Amino acid sequence: MAALSGVPDLSKQPTPSSDSSSDEKLSEIVEKGLESEREGSVDSVDDFPLRWKIVTLCLALCLSLGSSFSENTLGPLKSTFKSELNIDNAKYGAISSATSLVNTILPIIGGYVLDYYGVAWGTMLCSTFIFIGSVVSAMGSNFNSFNLVIGGRIILGLGSTVIESAGSKILAHWFQHRGLAFVYGLDISWGKCVVLLAKATAVPMRDATGFWGWALWIPAIICFVNLLQNAVYVWWSVYYLPCLDPYPDWKKPCENRAKQTSCPPRPQGASEST
């Protein structure tokens, strides 16, 4: 009997077994795709050369060295400040909290500026504020001036917290592929060591020199060295690295991976261990 027109031929319709087999194949393909994606995101991810990361780590850890050392020399010298500046507990509390006064809203603004204008020049501006503030505060010891000491602390506070955000941003960029939690932990540990060193040496600096102001001038000198070190980082990241052949392809690895489904080839000269 001839097939009726308009009536589908049921013998040609897919059977349940064929549907299940196609679903199994589809799920197998999806699993393989997810597995290859996971392997590519962990094992085959691009990374910066190790020597660049080591240099960056050393420079980034020292960005806030001067400000942290300068801020933490105040605590052990409370009685000295009160006697030399002829102030009470309330005024000493104002000195010790002066850096926190300007850092209630400033870190938010500073973070936006770092994102918009870049970290390199932002850290230079912060280091400049820190150095100027530490010098003004140290000059207050020479004149026994409460106003100079607290004014210098306020100026120092304009850069002390924002530069910590800059250091975190630098580490997050250079160690985004692996080791980020480790370098964050190293940064915290290094900061605690600086605090301990500052508090342990504040009184010896005063007693060894015979002038209590050296407990403020020595941190100011450290802030100056910190400013020079920051200038080295700016030169290294802004002027030196772009002159290297592999650098332009590695400058924004996240954008490269977003535009390409596979990782770009490893630049020539990059170590396989990185």
The answer to whether the CB of 270 falls within 8 A of the CB of 246 is yes
What 3-state DSSP class applies to 211? coil
Residue type present at position 87? I
User: What Cα–Cα distance (Å) separates residue 26 from each residue in 18, 20, 33, 204?
Assistant: 12, 10, 11, 73
- Average confidence (pLDDT) over 180-205: 94
Residue 32 in this model has a pLDDT that exceeds 80: no
Residue 178 pLDDT level (bands cut at 50, 70, 90): confident
- Average confidence (pLDDT) over 129-135: 96
- Average confidence (pLDDT) over 61-66: 92
Burial class (CB in 10 A: 0-12, 13-18, 19+), 4: exposed
Nearest 5°: CA angle at 174, between 171 and 180?
55
What 3-state DSSP class applies to 247? helix
Q: What is the pLDDT of residue 48?
A: 82
DSSP line for 45-107: -----HHHHHHHHHHHHTTTHHHHHHHTTSGGGHHHHHHHTT--HHHHHHHHTHHHHTTTTHH
Residue 193 in this model has a pLDDT that exceeds 90: yes
Q: What is the pLDDT of residue 117?
A: 86
The answer to whether the CB of 132 falls within 8 A of the CB of 116 is no
pLDDT tens digits for 229-273?
999 999 988 888 776 544 344 444 444 444 444 444 545 544 444
Residue 79 in this model has a pLDDT that exceeds 60: yes
pLDDT tens digits for 210-224?
899 999 999 999 999
Q: What is the pLDDT of residue 15?
A: 52
Residue 195 pLDDT level (bands cut at 50, 70, 90): very high
Residue 57 in this model has a pLDDT that exceeds 70: yes
Burial class (CB in 10 A: 0-12, 13-18, 19+), 179: middle
Does the domain at 50-241 match CATH 1.20.1250.20? Answer given as yes
Q: What's the pTM?
A: 0.72
Q: What mean pLDDT value characterizes the chain?
A: 80
- Average confidence (pLDDT) over 165-192: 92
The answer to whether the CB of 161 falls within 8 A of the CB of 174 is no
- Average confidence (pLDDT) over 14-35: 56
User: Where in the chain are the domains?
Assistant: 50-241
pLDDT tens digits for 81-127?
999 999 999 999 999 999 888 888 899 999 998 988 888 889 999 99
- Average confidence (pLDDT) over 157-186: 91
Q: What residues contact 264, with CB distance under 8 A and at least 6 apart?
A: 46, 249, 256
For 126-162, give one letter per residue: b (16+ CB within 10 A) or e.
bbbbbbbbbbbbbbbbeeebbebbbbbbbbbbbbbbb
Structure tokens at 99: 């850096």
pLDDT tens digits for 148-169?
999 999 999 999 999 999 999 9
Structure tokens at 223: 């802030």
Q: Residue 39: which of 263, 271, 272, 270 has the closest Cα?
A: 263
Q: What is the pLDDT of residue 264?
A: 47
CA–chain centroid gap for 98, Å, is 24
